[in-house]
Amino acid sequence: MSLPPRRAVLPSIALLLLLAACSGGKKESAGKGAPVPDVPAYGDAIVEGSIGDVSGFLTAVTTDASSHEAAGYVFNGLVRYDRNLKLEGELAESWEVSPDGKKITFHLRKGVKWHDGAPFTSDDVMFTYRRMIDPRTPTAYGEDFRQVKRASAPDPGTFVVEYARPFAPALASWGMHVLPKHLLENYPDISKSPLNRKPLGTGPYRFVEWKTGEKVVFDANPDYFEGKPYIARVITRVIPDQATMFLELKSGGVDIMTLTPPQYVRQTETAEFRKSFNRYKYTASGYTYLGFRLSHPFFRDRRVRQAIAFAADKKALIDGVLLGLGQAATGPYKPGTWAYNPNVRKYPHEPARAKALLAEAGWKEKDGVLVKDGQPFEFTVLTNAGNDARAKTAAILQQNLAEVGIRMKIRTVEWAAFINEFIDKRKFDAVILGWNITPDPDQFDIWHSSKTGPKELNHVGFANPEVDRLLDEGRSTFDLERRKKAYFRIQEVLAEEQPYVFLYVPEALPVVHNRFRGIVPAPAGITYNFIKWYVPAALQKHRIQP
Amino acid sequence: MLRYIARRLLLTVPLLVGISLISFLMMHMAPGGPIGAGTDMNPKATAESRARLQAYYGLDQPLHVQYGRWLGRMATLDFGDSFSPDGRPVAEKIKERIPITLTINVLSMGLIFLVAVPVGVYSAVRRGSLFDRISTVAVFTGFAIPTFWLALLMMILFGVKLGWLPISGISSMDFDSLGTLGKIADRGRHLVLPVLLAGFGGLAGMSRYMRSNMLEVIRQDYIATARAKGLPERTVVFRHAMRNALLPVITILGLSVPDLLGGSVIFETIFAIPGMGQLFYQGVMSRDYPLIMGILTIGAFLTLLGNLLADVGYALADPRIRQG
Amino acid sequence: MGRDFAHRLLRNRLAAAGGAVILFFFLVSALPGLFASHEPNRIDIVNILRPPSAAHPLGTDDLGRDVLARVVHGARVSLKVGFVAVGIATALGLLVGLLSGFYGGWVDAVLMRFVDMMLCFPTFFLILSVIAFLEPSIWNIMAVIGLTGWMGVARLVRAETLSIKERDFVAAARAQGAGDARIIFRHVLPNTLAPILVAATLGVAGAILTESALSFLGIGVQPPTPSWGNILTAGKDNIEYAWWLSLFPGLAILVTVLGYNLLGEGIRDAADPRLKGR
């Protein structure tokens, strides 16, 4: 097999990378060589490694992370989260909420064009709203839109929605991608429209091609309303295996991916790796928990739940599962965000206190196992198969609990069966699972006592009148201070009650090839300013013809 | 002959129906459904939206109605639409995935054939020799080594350390700008590792089969006669013995179709190849019923086709069977 | 068979080596304490991913567990998967083969069409779907591998039964009033023993490999229970840094599967009466 000419070029690229390492200044790595002028330039391509393929580009009808990420290049919503996870206008220039909190008026950005040149107007927003509540649209996100009592588009630049009562999460729901009416109105089921495979939006990148299971290609949109993105081309490559993806990164086949903790800690420390890549670290929007079925005779007693919280060694979990790249969770919100209450009851690793609490609850130790009314303290924790971090978490908790005389068995079930057979039917003692933390703190569905039915998300069966009331209060006002007060109190109650033992919040660990500049880590991560990323002209690896 | 083929083809129909029925029942008795993938643990999905989705996919109908519908559509070769959010026809999805999987399988089968036949013949002729023993251990090693482990080791060696071959995928970034020859070379470079690995893994079956056939043939009277006539050993082995020993190997080619298809799940996952194996795995994980049914049916059809081709080939080569 | 058979088998050095490997791992899984002093599930956060040392001859894994202990205890799990799966497959194959061959007629027709159908499934696809749809517990894995692997044995037993049924001595036995059971146990089974043994040896090897492939996809035997497949999979993600974590379970699988294959081949050769004296 003959080698294509590309190979011959590689050494010189490697040399350039070496040179690249010293300029900049905000990266972790440093190197030697002549400085490269660090000025923004258009051009080059970035190859993104993705575990899963896109399933479709219309986010109304897809639910997986890969699809939503890819669609984000092409489409915009009325609003989005900024670098500090605060809502800001995207297609909406501004908005007002009426004093009674029931009416939101969006003022749309002017002069925005769809990629085919058609103007973007409030008709498109109206169309999107109608499709979201249309029973023919197979969407999982219709609920927020069904809260709307009346929607109107008084002129091409204005869109107004009215709610029966103030509904705080409403604003965030308008981050839903706006669909082009002129291309979709003839498709009663948008999931079957060609746009789901060949999207056309208002976003910073234009769709070029999607080779199923292989890659998706986007080119920069020169007419993007926030300016033309510097990086000319984005290629998302599907690489299902994490180990393969890492090898691709090291050999130049991938420019950006998410590292696992062992990769971050053990395999990217070498000088050679640091010369070519920049690693980043920021708090991920998610946490892992041990949840109890609260109707279980063992776990009905709050002291038992608190005892398990004292027995769980969160430090060991963070060190063992995340190799130190995470922090202890104290409640269901992301540390450092406005809704997060840092002053709640904490549960350090204190086996002695755990034992005392268990004894108080009537559990007596016999041959190393706790017994009450002749019954040994033995239960099964369930988690889903194929999730390495959760499996490790279970193994460590098993050891922690054994130290205080509790025998915990571990059972792993594949996701679909896990949800349908065990969670939905409430056939579990305890589970290890995780939640994503949304920027809006409304967690009505997870904690409200009305949400304990089958398929609903309060699967542990948590019911607390005070929390019910606070959840209601928190979602029915736009007043940030009032919301904050409600959510702070909710966290205090949850910390006291421990319906979950909140375990840890991991760090997100992206790695990017260091020819890419302009990356500024923020609470929202690194990709919020993607269109401002660039490669200095001298370092560009790929020549992209526009 | 034509009538034989026609009869065999006709016989595949009830087999396919049976296979589809088994697959169908197996899937629908399993916990979890296609709706779950998008709505489970999704705060924004409600009971109503779930029920709507159920009706949308026809999952609210009784089982026999669902199966009847599926079978009815199959009669017109309509595989139905996938349950995944893109909602594309299953046939289309399979069509775009099948070429790469078949290419890899055909190439590795060719490789197996090219290596296994001489190895089998030689170790039969030199039974018990050092070559026989070494080749025995070597071909079984290929079978015994966990594929994904060897694959990673090869990627590290040839992809990262030596930089000779691409690590994964089926084409380079600049694939579209290459000429026809360049495209072929590029695709070829990407396929070297997967084909070599699949070939190495499948060597054992074929070469051992060849060896034992050869041993069988060598014992036959006509070989003894040929030897007694003083024909050179080369002629005896290659002209007389090998030809007869090769014949049954044709059938084993047909029988190995299901194994190769099954193995493609692992290959395609580790090498990031967008083929049928990956498609099936994703289908299983998201409970995409029409897709699973489609692939199982096509897989079964390919197997039956492989068997039929093998039998026909065998019949053509062996006059005794043609008459029977 | 008998002494002659054993003698021939032992003279085949490859088969003997294979047998020795198998015996060794039997010993390992019967007496794990003899080979590893550590607990396989003892987590030690301070000693994560440590290379081989005096305290941990094969190093530690990503939770600081002793790799030697995990490989040793994994031997038991992996061999159990192999044996139970093959046990199920053989029992089922025998049953179907005997019924089919002995009773013929429509029983035979129905069963054989069913065998044809099962042979057309890409087996791994089938195993994958069942495991994913149910639960990747060790029992399900064994059952599914067994339930998808019996067709070969069934065909083999059926063919043998058919040929024996026609022989004179069976007719004679029948004339003397021997029942079906007696004919099956006295005449059919002994004749099919060698090929079944060969199929079973190869089946164990196949089941161990299938389990490791399922582990690679995340639906094999689930951690913390150690199996060779899931230790290897855990090692895969650290393959460049922590080579010991993939090398040792990988070698264990390689050597064991190789051993079973060589033994199987040896049994086939030794049992083939036509090869006598060569």
Q: C7-45: buried (b, 16+ CB within 10 Å) or exposed (e) per residue?
A: ebbeebebbebbbebbeebeebbeebeebbebebbebbb
- The residue among A308 and B248 whose pLDDT is bigger is A308
Give A358-414 as a DSSP string.
HHHTT-EEETTEEEETTEE-EEEEEEETT-HHHHHHHHHHHHHHHHTT-EEEEEEE-
Query: Which residue out of C50, C227, C241, C244 would a mutagenesis test of the A interface target, given it has the greatest number of A Cβ atoms within 10 Å?
Result: C241
What CA–CA distance (Å, rounded) separates B40 from B37?
Answer: 6
pLDDT at B50 over 80: no
What CA–CA distance (Å, rounded) separates A94 from A79?
Answer: 9
Q: Which residues, other chains included, contact B104 with Cβ-Cβ below 8 Å and sequence gap of 6+?
A: B191, B194, B195, B198, B264, B267, B273, B275
The torsion region of residue A178 among left (phi > 0), alpha (psi -120 to 50) and beta comes to beta
- Residue range B186-194: mean pLDDT, rounded: 93
pLDDT at C171 over 80: no
State pLDDT tens for residues C4-23.
Answer: 777 877 788 888 999 999 99
Q: B79-117: buried (b, 16+ CB within 10 Å) or exposed (e) per residue?
A: bbbbbbbbbbebbebbebbbebbbbbbebbbebbbebbb
> Taking a C-beta distance cutoff of 8 angstroms, is the pair A392, A399 a contact?
no
> Taking a C-beta distance cutoff of 8 angstroms, is the pair A502, A278 a contact?
no
- The residue among B252 and C146 whose pLDDT is bigger is C146
Closest by CA to C211, choosing from C235, C226, C229, is: C229
What CA–CA distance (Å, rounded) separates B120 from B118?
Answer: 5
Please indicate if any CB of chain C lies within 8 Å of the CB of B281. Answer: yes
| CB-closest option in B19, B148, B285 to C132 | B285
Show the tokens assigned to A106: 């969006």
Show the tokens assigned to B186: 């590029």
Q: What is the largest CA-CA distance in chain A?
A: 77
- Residue range C175-193: mean pLDDT, rounded: 78
What CA–CA distance (Å, rounded) separates A477 from A442?
Answer: 11
pLDDT at B323 over 60: no
B26–chain C nearest CA distance, Å: 8
pLDDT at B43 over 60: no
- How many Cβ atoms are within 10 Å of C122's Cβ, its own excluded? 27
Residues 8-47 of C with CB under 8 A from B: 13-14
Cis peptide before C224 (omega within 30 of 0): yes
Q: Would you state the pLDDT for residue B304?
A: 83
Please indicate if any CB of chain B lies within 8 Å of the CB of C251. Answer: no
- The residue among C128 and A529 whose pLDDT is bigger is A529
Position A29 confidence tier, pLDDT thresholds 50, 70, 90: very low
Closest-approach residue (CA) in chain B for C129: B284
Q: Provide the total of helices (H) and of strands (E) in chain B, helices listed first.
A: 15, 0
Ranges A293-307, B90-104, B164-178: which has the least confidence: B164-178
Instruction: Kindly report the average pLDDT of chain A as a whole number.
Output: 88
pLDDT at A80 over 50: yes
Closest by CA to A44, choosing from A3, A22, A67, A16, is: A16
What CA–CA distance (Å, rounded) separates A62 from B38?
Answer: 7
Position A367 confidence tier, pLDDT thresholds 50, 70, 90: confident
Closest-approach residue (CA) in chain A for C223: A391
* A440: amino acid identity, one letter: D
Computed from CA positions of residues C218, C223, C225, C228, in that sequence, does the dihedral angle turn out positive or negative? positive
Q: Would you state the pLDDT for residue B40?
A: 57
Please indicate if any CB of chain C lies within 8 Å of the CB of B15. Answer: yes
- Residue range C57-67: mean pLDDT, rounded: 91
Position C36 confidence tier, pLDDT thresholds 50, 70, 90: confident
What CA–CA distance (Å, rounded) separates B293 from B80?
Answer: 10
- Residue range A493-508: mean pLDDT, rounded: 96
Closest-approach residue (CA) in chain A for B165: A3
Q: Would you state the pLDDT for residue A408?
A: 94
- Residue A96: φ, ψ to 5°: -125, 145
Ranges A21-30, A269-278, B223-232, B250-259: which has the least confidence: A21-30
Q: Would you state the pLDDT for residue A4?
A: 33
Check A189 against B87: CB less than 8 A apart: yes
Show the tokens assigned to A240: 């299902």
Instruction: Kindly report the average pLDDT of chain C as a whole number.
Output: 87
State pLDDT tens for residues A184-228.
Answer: 999 998 888 999 999 999 999 999 999 988 999 999 999 999 999
Q: Would you state the pLDDT for residue B238?
A: 75
pLDDT more than 90, % of chain C: 41
What CA–CA distance (Å, rounded) separates B158 from B153?
Answer: 9
DSSP A45: E
What CA–CA distance (Å, rounded) separates A66 from A530?
Answer: 17
pLDDT more than 70, % of chain C: 97
- Residue range C153-167: mean pLDDT, rounded: 85
The torsion region of residue A292 among left (phi > 0), alpha (psi -120 to 50) and beta comes to beta
What CA–CA distance (Å, rounded) separates A73 from C53?
Answer: 50
pTM for the predicted model, two decimal places? 0.86
pLDDT more than 70, % of chain A: 93
- Residue range A87-113: mean pLDDT, rounded: 94
B275–chain A nearest CA distance, Å: 8
pLDDT at C169 over 80: no
Q: Would you state the pLDDT for residue B245?
A: 78
pLDDT at C205 over 80: yes
Q: Would you state the pLDDT for residue B273?
A: 93
Check C239 against B141: CB less than 8 A apart: no
Check B155 against A1: CB less than 8 A apart: no
Q: Chain C partners of A386 at a C-beta cutoff of 8 Å? A: 217-219
Check B149 against C13: CB less than 8 A apart: no
Check A416 against B33: CB less than 8 A apart: yes
- The residue among B164 and A10 whose pLDDT is bigger is B164
A365–chain B nearest CA distance, Å: 38
SS (H, E, C) B2-32: HHHHHHHHHHHHHHHHHHHHHHHHHHHHCCC
Q: How far is CA B131 from CA A64, B88, B122, B205, C117, in A?
A: 54, 53, 8, 18, 40
Check A416 against B40: CB less than 8 A apart: yes
Please indicate if any CB of chain B lies within 8 Å of the CB of C140. Answer: no
Q: Would you state the pLDDT for residue A545?
A: 62
The torsion region of residue C277 among left (phi > 0), alpha (psi -120 to 50) and beta comes to left
State pLDDT tens for residues B141-152.
Answer: 999 999 999 999
Check C217 against B136: CB less than 8 A apart: no
Q: How far is CA B193 from CA A259, A447, B253, B268, B281, in A?
A: 25, 51, 22, 12, 22
Q: Would you state the pLDDT for residue A26?
A: 35
B92–chain A nearest CA distance, Å: 11
Q: Would you state the pLDDT for residue A35?
A: 61
pLDDT at A77 over 90: yes
C-alpha R_g of chain A: 26
Residue ranges with strand state E in A140-293: 148-155, 158-163, 205-211, 215-220, 233-238, 256-258, 277-279, 282-283, 286-292
Check C261 against B156: CB less than 8 A apart: no
Q: Chain C partners of B155 at a C-beta cutoff of 8 Å? A: none
B260–chain C nearest CA distance, Å: 8
pLDDT more than 70, % of chain B: 87
Check C222 against A396: CB less than 8 A apart: no
| CB-closest option in C42, C136, C242 to A414 | C136
Q: Would you state the pLDDT for residue C189?
A: 80
State pLDDT tens for residues A144-194.
Answer: 898 899 999 999 999 999 999 999 889 999 999 999 999 999 999 888 899
Check C222 against A412: CB less than 8 A apart: yes
Please indicate if any CB of chain C lies within 8 Å of the CB of B263. Answer: yes
pLDDT at B108 over 70: yes
Q: A287-296: buried (b, 16+ CB within 10 Å) or exposed (e) per residue?
A: bbbbbbbbeb
Q: Chain B partners of A457 at a C-beta cutoff of 8 Å? A: 41, 43
Q: Chain C partners of A396 at a C-beta cutoff of 8 Å? A: 43, 45, 63
| CB-closest option in A55, A143, A433 to B86 | A55
Q: Would you state the pLDDT for residue B32?
A: 57
pLDDT at A121 over 90: yes
Check C216 against B304: CB less than 8 A apart: no
Q: Chain C partners of B145 at a C-beta cutoff of 8 Å? A: 250, 253-254
Q: Would you state the pLDDT for residue A2?
A: 32
DSSP A532: G
What CA–CA distance (Å, rounded) separates B264 from B98?
Answer: 11
State which of A113-127, B84-98, B175-189 shows the largest mean pLDDT: A113-127
C41–chain A nearest CA distance, Å: 8
> Taking a C-beta distance cutoff of 8 angstroms, is the pair A272, A369 a contact?
no
Check A388 against C234: CB less than 8 A apart: yes
What CA–CA distance (Å, rounded) separates A140 from C272?
Answer: 64
Position B33 confidence tier, pLDDT thresholds 50, 70, 90: low
Give A27-42 as a DSSP string.
SS----S---------
What CA–CA distance (Å, rounded) separates A63 from A542?
Answer: 33
- How many Cβ atoms are within 10 Å of A202's Cβ, its own excluded? 25
- The residue among A530 and B234 whose pLDDT is bigger is A530
| CB-closest option in A143, A197, A421 to B49 | A143
The torsion region of residue A75 among left (phi > 0), alpha (psi -120 to 50) and beta comes to beta
Check C232 against B149: CB less than 8 A apart: yes
pLDDT at A526 over 60: yes
Show the tokens assigned to B263: 């193995």
